[in-house]
């Protein structure tokens, strides 16, 4: 299990719609801010990279000291971004795919406005469970 | 015993599997629902342009969801980065899932570089609809135009999409054409 892991879902308009610290290390306030800053800085790189490839999993797009940012870009250009320090690519890819399925189920809700925050606590529980399983 | 053999009930929609589900929906049920949608919107607006816009907005929401779901089911999570790719995706896959057949034709416009047309002899949504003379060129295919717009916008190819009637000689009912005009930024970003 990665000791540091910050997971963010960013909508097409670069607005975060879901955030979670899923690492196993104890939470520190300033570190959380730094993680979010790193993830948002990586958005520029993702924007250019997204148009070059057909695949959804963009692997690691940016680094910051020993932390790596991995990104998964869905069809509607909703970005799932993970800041982590572990190395297992397969685990991360499976994590992204499972969260993507959960996201599709939320998205299919006709009363969900695309681009708005995901507030379901059930979704939160499931994402954290998946993080424990794959990361 | 009552209840024996019932399918497993899930507490939350997030737990339900994203299966293919039943592929078919009753046409009469859909036609009834669509006619009620049009009639409801008719009571809310003053003119035809506003009515078409509302139908388009309704279709837009459908298009966004159709795009995400179909890419997950059919294409094994690969995105489209090319214009022709996304157009042929709409023309075949989206049409097949929504209307049971691929669209009749996909053409590139001759006058302008950024115009494309998807034609259909008779749109499913228009099959049970007759437009009175005083409504002029109103076309309920605006709903389908909205679906196409939803798919294109969310895939990253912003466009203006409209539905038009094209009279054909020898046929009583005119053909319907969905006209897609891409925005400026599409030409710059994408490889056609």
What is the model's pTM?
Answer: 0.87
Model pLDDT, residue A40: 84
- Taking only the tens of pLDDT, chain A with its 135 residues reads 567 788 899 998 888 899 888 877 766 777 778 888 888 888 888 888 888 888 888 878 888 878 888 888 888 889 998 888 877 788 888 899 899 999 999 999 889 998 899 988 999 999 999 988 887
Residue A26 vs residues A21, A22, A45, B102, B156: alpha-carbon distances, Å: 10, 10, 29, 54, 39
Q: How many Cβ pairs within 8 Å bridge chains A and B?
A: 68
Contact A107 B65 (CB under 8 A): yes
Which stretch of A54-63, B54-63, B107-116, B149-158 has the lowest confidence by average pLDDT? A54-63
Model pLDDT, residue B60: 94
**Does B92 have pLDDT greater than 50?**
yes
* Residue B12 included in any domain: no
Identify which of B135, B70, B130, B134 has the alpha carbon closest to the alpha carbon of residue B96: B70
Across A21-30, B26-35, B78-87, the highest mean pLDDT is recorded for B26-35
Q: How many domains does chain B have?
A: 1
For A18, other C-beta atoms within 10 Å of its C-beta total: 21
**Does B5 have pLDDT greater than 60?**
no
Non-local CB neighbours of B111 within 8 Å, separated by 6+ positions = none
* A112's tokens: 């969900």
Probe site for chain B from A52, A58, A75 (most B CB atoms < 10 A): A75
Residues spanned by the domain of B63? 49-190
Model pLDDT, residue B21: 64
Residues spanned by the domain of A69? 4-134
Q: Answer whether A27 touches B (CB < 8 Å).
A: no
Contact B72 A51 (CB under 8 A): no
Provide ipTM, 2 decimals: 0.85
User: Would you place residue B150 in the very low, low, confident or very high pLDDT band (cuts 50, 70, 90)?
Assistant: very high
Q: How many domains does chain A have?
A: 1
**Sequence-ordered strand ranges (E) for A24-66:** 57-64
CATH number of the domain enclosing B70: 3.30.1380.20
* B100's tokens: 């049971």
Q: Which residue has the tokens 């779901």?
A: B69
* Residue B68 included in any domain: yes
Contact B14 A76 (CB under 8 A): no
Model pLDDT, residue B62: 92
User: Would you place residue B144 in the very low, low, confident or very high pLDDT band (cuts 50, 70, 90)?
Assistant: very high
Reduced to 3 states (helix: H, G, I; strand: E, B; else coil), residue A88 is coil
User: Would you place residue B153 in the very low, low, confident or very high pLDDT band (cuts 50, 70, 90)?
Assistant: very high
CATH number of the domain enclosing A99: 3.30.450.70
Interfacial residues of B (vs A; Cβ cutoff 8 Å): 12-14, 16, 18, 61, 64-65, 67-69, 71-72, 77-81, 154-156, 189-190
Q: State chain B's mean pLDDT as an integer.
A: 84
């Amino acid at each position: 299990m990665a000791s540091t892991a910050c997971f963010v879902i960013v909508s097409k308009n670069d607005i975060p719609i879901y955030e979670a610290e899923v690492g196993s290390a104890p939470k520190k306030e300033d570190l959380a801010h730094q993680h979010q800053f790193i993830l948002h800085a990586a958005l520029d790189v993702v924007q250019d990279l997204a148009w070059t490839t057909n695949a959804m999993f963009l692997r690691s797009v940016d680094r910051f000291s020993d932390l790596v940012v991995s990104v998964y870009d869905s069809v509607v250009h909703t970005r799932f971004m993970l800041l982590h320090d572990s190395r297992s690519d397969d685990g991360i890819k499976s994590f992204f795919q499972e969260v993507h399925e959960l996201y599709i189920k939320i998205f299919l809700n006709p009363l969900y406005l695309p681009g708005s925050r995901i507030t379901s606590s059930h979704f939160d529980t499931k994402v954290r469970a998946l993080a424990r399983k794959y990361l | 015993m009552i209840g024996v053999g019932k399918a497993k009930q899930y507490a939350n929609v997030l737990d339900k599997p994203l299966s293919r589900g039943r592929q078919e929906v009753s046409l009469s049920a859909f036609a009834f629902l669509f006619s009620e949608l049009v009639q409801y919107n008719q009571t809310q607006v003053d003119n035809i342009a506003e009515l078409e816009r509302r139908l388009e907005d309704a279709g837009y929401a459908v298009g966004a969801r159709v795009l995400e779901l179909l890419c997950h089911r059919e294409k094994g999570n690969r995105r489209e980065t090319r214009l022709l790719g996304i157009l042929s995706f709409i023309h075949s896959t989206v049409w097949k899932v929504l209307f049971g057949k691929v669209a009749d034709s996909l053409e590139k416009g001759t006058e302008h570089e950024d115009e494309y047309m998807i034609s259909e002899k008779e749109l499913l949504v228009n099959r049970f609809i007759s437009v009175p003379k005083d409504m002029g060129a109103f076309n309920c295919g605006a709903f389908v135009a909205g679906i196409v717009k939803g798919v294109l916008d969310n895939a990253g190819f912003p466009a203006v999409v409209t539905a038009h009637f094209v009279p054909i000689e020898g046929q009583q009912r005119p053909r319907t054409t969905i006209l897609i005009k891409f925005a400026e930024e599409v030409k710059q970003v994408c490889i056609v």
